[in-house]
Amino acid sequence: MRKIIAVAAVVALALALGGCALVKTGAVPAPPTPVDLNPKLASGQFVQKVDVFEVIADSTMSMADPYLGSTKLKVEKDLLSLFDGTIPDLRLTAAARAFGSFEFLGGDTSRLLYGPEPYRKSRLPMAAADLSPRGLSPLNTAIDGAAQDLRDQSGRMALIIFSDGEDMEAFRPEETAARMKGAYGDRICIYAVHLGETAAGRKQLQRIVDAGGCGFVAKGADVASPAGMADFVSQVFLKAPGVVARPAPTPPPKEEVVEAKPQAQAAPVVTPKEPLTIRLNIEFDTAKAVIKHIYHNEIKRVADFMKEHPTVKAVIEGHTDNVGKEAANMKLSQRRADAVMQYLVTKFKIDASRLEAVGYGPHRPIATNKTKEGRQHNRRVTAVFSGI
């Protein structure tokens, strides 16, 4: 009897010790803490350059392959979470889409996960949580779907693709990307995060990005750290004040540069420059146009830029949502634009001859007016610069 009790005690101790070791070995590491980019925005080091973005996530069969000590799909979900947590407090419209196989047989090869809608933290990783690696790699259908998702959006856009770039040559997604670029022009740039190690996959993603005319391909391993992801997010969503966010113009062919007729030389041969726009995060009381002191530094960003560039001029644009009568909204947007212009003149001594105030009322929305958040995005003031 004593022998049985002794053996039982030894077994119990061994299980207890083994259980502790198992708990320690199987402990899940805490997710990395994203870098906070908001101080760089608050200090004026960066300004917003993108108004709308859509993420395309790869959930195809090859995403079950090993990568960075896990699977490509698991790494993708972790990166989507880190990406989402790193985006600073910007007023954005967002959407997400996945491609792969979503039904046992047949069915769509691309699926809209959400949006377009006002951007909300955690929406992206939650939407991608249930993705599983199935099906072929028809990235072309996802890019076509994204082009449709964004058709009613205004402002500058970014398409961000997370994929291994594998097994999609036959679908020629670069041609689909070129069609999307043709539809949206310089308003859109395409970025990609390569979740793999093969040169072929990276080259495929590079062809897609090249078709977009601007953007770049980042390695998944390079953006897996908080600092690496912060650099990626900064390049996609932010820019230094005064830097125009547009691709470099393509030089004209040599035979068009050498021209006998002066008037032919004067004709434009490159894409016209898109004016630099700074959106001011100023909120007004309902039906009011009085600027509160807390927005002094927000307007100071415009003043500082104009002082650094004494030849530029600015149009201060006022916008509203579509609630209420159109005539009243037109007047309200004009009063708010006038108020910001007057603030620049009286508080920062900007010459009034360099400024113009225009109210557009509800006619230039950047988000839906069907939701509270969308209406809030539409109630805005922007400064559009010329002569840069």
Cβ atoms of residues 319 and 380 within 8 Å:
yes
pLDDT for residue 379: 83
Say which residue, 91 or 377, is predicted with more confidence.
91
Domains recognised in the chain with CATH numbers: 38-239 (3.40.50.410), 273-386 (3.30.1330.60)
**Coil vs helix vs strand at 198:** coil
Q: How far is CA 310 from CA 74, 298, 328, 351, 386, in A?
A: 51, 19, 35, 10, 11
- pLDDT tens for 250-276 read 444 444 444 444 444 444 444 444 557
pLDDT at 103 over 70: no
Q: Which of 311, 312, 316 minimizes the C-alpha distance to 334?
A: 316
Strand ranges of the sheet holding 313-318, from the earlier edge strand across to the other edge: 277-280, 381-386, 313-318, 355-359
- pLDDT tens for 268-303 read 444 444 557 677 778 777 778 888 888 888 899 889
- pLDDT tens for 50-63 read 999 999 999 999 99
- pLDDT tens for 133-183 read 988 878 999 999 999 999 999 999 999 999 999 988 888 999 999 999 999
pLDDT for residue 63: 93
Q: Which two tokens stand for residue 189?
A: 């740039």
pLDDT for residue 170: 84
User: Which band of pLDDT confidence, cut at 50, 70 and 90, is reported for residue 228?
Assistant: very high
Q: Name the phi and psi angles at 245, rounded to 5.
A: -85, 85
pLDDT for residue 147: 94
Q: What is the mean pLDDT of residues 337-354?
A: 93
Regarding beta strands 110-118 and 93-100, do their DSSP bridges make them parallel or antiparallel, or are they unpaired?
A: antiparallel
Q: How far is CA 50 from CA 35, 190, 237, 252, in A?
A: 19, 12, 5, 28
- pLDDT tens for 83-101 read 999 999 999 999 999 998 8
Q: What is the mean pLDDT of residues 304-323?
A: 89
Q: What is the mean pLDDT of the chain?
A: 83
- Please give the torsion angle defined by the CA atoms of residues 229, 230, 231 and 234, in that order, rounded to the nearest 10 degrees: 120
pLDDT for residue 243: 52
Does residue 138 have a cis bond before it (omega within 30 degrees)? no
User: Which band of pLDDT confidence, cut at 50, 70 and 90, is reported for residue 374?
Assistant: confident
Q: Which two tokens stand for residue 44?
A: 């004026």
pLDDT for residue 340: 93
pLDDT for residue 388: 62
Give every CB contact of residue 238 below 8 A, 6+ residues apart in sequence: 37, 40, 41, 46, 47, 48, 49, 88
Burial class (CB in 10 A: 0-12, 13-18, 19+), 251: exposed
User: Which band of pLDDT confidence, cut at 50, 70 and 90, is reported for residue 330?
Assistant: very high
DSSP labels, 219-232 = EGGGGSSHHHHHHH
Q: Which of 80, 91, 162, 161 minimizes the C-alpha distance to 124?
A: 80
- pLDDT tens for 331-340 read 998 999 999 9
Q: Give the CA radius of gyration of the chain.
A: 26
pLDDT for residue 242: 65
pLDDT at 246 over 50: no
56: enclosing H helix or E strand: strand 52-59
Point out the least confidently predicted range of 67-76, 223-232, 310-319: 310-319
User: Which band of pLDDT confidence, cut at 50, 70 and 90, is reported for residue 104?
Assistant: low
Cβ atoms of residues 194 and 164 within 8 Å:
yes
Distance separating alpha carbons of residues 245 and 237, to the nearest angstrom: 10
Say which residue, 13 or 100, is predicted with more confidence.
100
pLDDT for residue 107: 64
pLDDT at 117 over 60: yes
